[in-house]
Amino acid sequence: MGGRFEGEADCRRGPGPEGSARADLGGGTIVDYESLHEDLTRVLEDLIEKNGQAPILVEGARDRRALRALGIRGDIISLNRGTTLFAICESVARNHREAIILTDWDARGGRLARQLRDGLAANGVRYDDQLRARLTSLCRKDITDVESLHTYVDRVTELARSRNHAKPSKRWYGPMR
């Protein structure tokens, strides 16, 4: 009976509200770091919450380290461990009813995500690939892999904070006389 988590939307519908907070950290147009930070925080909170019940499937050890640095403490399974994807899907099916797919958002990561969806569904495991889609919509222009996510979040956090402190609030000055 595999497939998406209960209530999950189809990622092909396009980005959710997170899509409005795009920013280019490479020197291009800055949209809104505060909104981007809020959206990234929301996605990471959802990831941490869902990781309590379901393992996260990532490509390699660096991806796992990046997620640990972001505070994710649940089960993280690396795909790069010398076995086939289908064997990994069978192993996940023996121990879990659900899994979170979090491969990179480049072409190879997209192929892996599709193969994981097929393998997990064939083994009766529900999967969540919506979190990957949400991160892709927020980060695609700036980073393309999970291992860069921790430093990206740190940069966005710093830029959102520095932007907040650049101009003091008008309320701080009190009423105008």
Domain boundaries along the sequence of the chain: 29-161
pLDDT at 32: 84
CA 112/CA 110 separation, integer angstroms: 5
pLDDT at 10: 40
Architecture of domain 29-161: 3-Layer(aba) Sandwich (3.40)
pLDDT band of residue 26 (cuts 50, 70, 90) is: low
User: 73 versus 141: which is more confidently predicted?
Assistant: 73
**C-alpha closest to that of 105 among 147, 62, 61:** 147
One-letter amino acid at 6 equals E
Sign of CA dihedral 110, 75, 121, 60: positive
Are the C-beta atoms of residues 99 and 68 closer than 8 Å to each other?
Answer: no
In percent, the amount of the chain with pLDDT more than 70 equals 74
Are the C-beta atoms of residues 26 and 159 closer than 8 Å to each other?
Answer: no
pTM: 0.77
Are the C-beta atoms of residues 108 and 55 closer than 8 Å to each other?
Answer: no
pLDDT at 171: 46
